[in-house]
Structure 1
Amino acid sequence: MEQDSTVPEPDGAAATSGASLSVLALADARLPGGGHAHSGGLEEAVHRGVVADAGQLREFLRGRLHGAGGQAAAFAAAAARAAERGAGAEYWRRWDVEFDARTPSPAQRTSSRAQGRGTARAGRAAWPCAELEELLSVTTSPHHPAVVGALLGARSLGTPKDAAAVVAYLAVSGPSAAAVRLLGLDPFAANAAVVALERDTELIARRAASTADSRPEDLPSTGAPALDLLAQAHQRHHEEEVRLFAS
């Protein structure tokens, strides 16, 4: 008797029981979202001698994960929940204002919006949805966590925790990849620095998911003054001389 080899379509719950292909694609550095052009402040840190080896890279990544990464994770989780519920333009306006308010560095805001635009273009091609268009009707340069959350939540491709994990991971995987070029670091050592943060990333994703139902104005704010200063210094130096990365 011939067996039916058709794979049934998963329902919403089954589709999010593990990492979906969409979640993995959004976390992949090869996604044409422009993330490869940003070092997350590492280039300036290397220039200043703050990061010079694998050990210092690990500490830099840990600080970045718990600072900018944690904030992005919380806002990505909230965006995913809002997209699940079909939040309207007013929600996305409030989300955008509140994320801006928690990102005091203009250079970091510019970087986030640049990656958001790139990811939105990729999203329109791969995961077209009304929620992404609603977000883009509010701003043509949305912040990166908003786009990730909107794409995963709109079509139940991932949970709020998935959205949080994606942006938290990208907060450290991008600088880690940049370290190979900036420091001539062994790629295996750079990768190990990211993997060492597995528990931290899981904790941040769970915390972000726990606040996903909060109003934008009630979402947590994780300050990282050192990263803000590095971002501003890098922007100034980038205008004066050629740098490898945009941020």
Structure 2
Amino acid sequence: MTARAALLLFADGRLPAGGYAHSGGLEESVRTGRVRDAQSLESFLEGRARTVGLVLAAFAARSCRAARDPDPLPELEVLDAELDARTPSPAQRETSRQLGRQLHRLLTGMAHHPLLERLPRAPHQPLVLGAACGLYGLRPLDAALAALHESVTGPAVAAVRLMSIDPFRTHAALARIAPSLDRLAERALEHCDGSPHDMPAAAAPLLDVVAEVHATRSERLFAS
């Protein structure tokens, strides 16, 4: 598989790695009325990209670069612990690791590579995504863009099921924030060098709160 084809595959929302079952905090935000229309949805997506999205993009980019090293495992283990520290919500940590397990399972079914077999047990999803991008010859910038793309398209698709909203309007919102994603991907690249302890830690406390509340719901459409 070529690098271009790999990038399209990793950015495809139909990838059977569980992302379609998660709303990224949107379901609980809709339930509480914080997101109620196309305008507030766009604000939600923009805010998610600038906080959670930037962090995930930086870790995916750095994991992509690390995957090219002769022995990337030590750095990937440090990155896994650093991302854990930047995810204060237990529910969000579990979601990230669940998605990481599912993506890892998919990748090992696509191709055999020693690094995939040696990844930390139940790794965070952006680390698996970044490592996969590196193994398929993609650049750290590609990994950052894929992570940012996923951080907003998942909630945008979920919005169609959760709200009375025209899907054309959700994609129009995605198009408007696309330039912001490009800029955030460039910012994510700035963290490919230096100490892993200095990776970005942009916080979205309200998303942490709604994740914990959502985890207690007995009736829900999405797992997160």
Deviates more, 1:72-81 or 1:193-202: 193-202
* TM-score under structure 2 length normalisation: 0.95
* TM-score under structure 1 length normalisation: 0.87
Partner of 2:21: 37
8 Å CA contact retained: 2:6, 2:136: no
CA gap of 1:127–1:166, structure 2 versus 1, over 3 A, is: farther
2:154 to 157, 174, 188: 174
What is the root-mean-square deviation of aligned Cα atoms in Å?
1.5
Q: After TM superposition, list the pairs within 5 Å mapping 1:85-124 onto structure 2.
A: 85-124=69-108
Partner of 2:124: 143
Aligned length: 224
Structure 1 position 99, deviation (Å): 0.3
Aligned to 2:116, what secondary structure does the other structure show? helix
Structure 1 position 213, deviation (Å): 2.5
**Paired letter, 2:124:** H
CA gap of 1:91–1:51, structure 2 versus 1, over 3 A, is: same
Partner of 2:192: 212
> How far apart are the structure 2 equivalents of 1:159 and 1:131?
17
Structure 1 position 146, deviation (Å): 0.4
Q: After TM superposition, list the pairs within 5 Å mapping 1:70-85 onto structure 2.
A: 70-85=54-69
8 Å CA contact retained: 1:81, 1:213: no
1:189 to 158, 169, 172: 169
Gaps of 5+ in 1: 1-8, 10-14
Structure 1 position 184, deviation (Å): 2.5
**Paired letter, 1:210:** E
1:55 to 15, 34, 39: 39
Gaps of 5+ in 2: none
Q: Deviations over 1:180-233 (max 9, x none)?
A: 000031111111111111111001111112221233222111111111111111
Runs ≥4 residues deviating over 6 A = none
1:200 to 180, 185, 191: 180
Structure 1 position 89, deviation (Å): 2.8
**Paired letter, 1:146:** L
1:152 to 107, 128, 133: 133
1:131 aligns with 2:108: no
Aligned to 2:67, what secondary structure does the other structure show? helix
Q: Deviations over 1:160-193 (max 9, x none)?
A: 0100100111000000000000003111111111
Deviates more, 1:194-203 or 1:35-44: 194-203
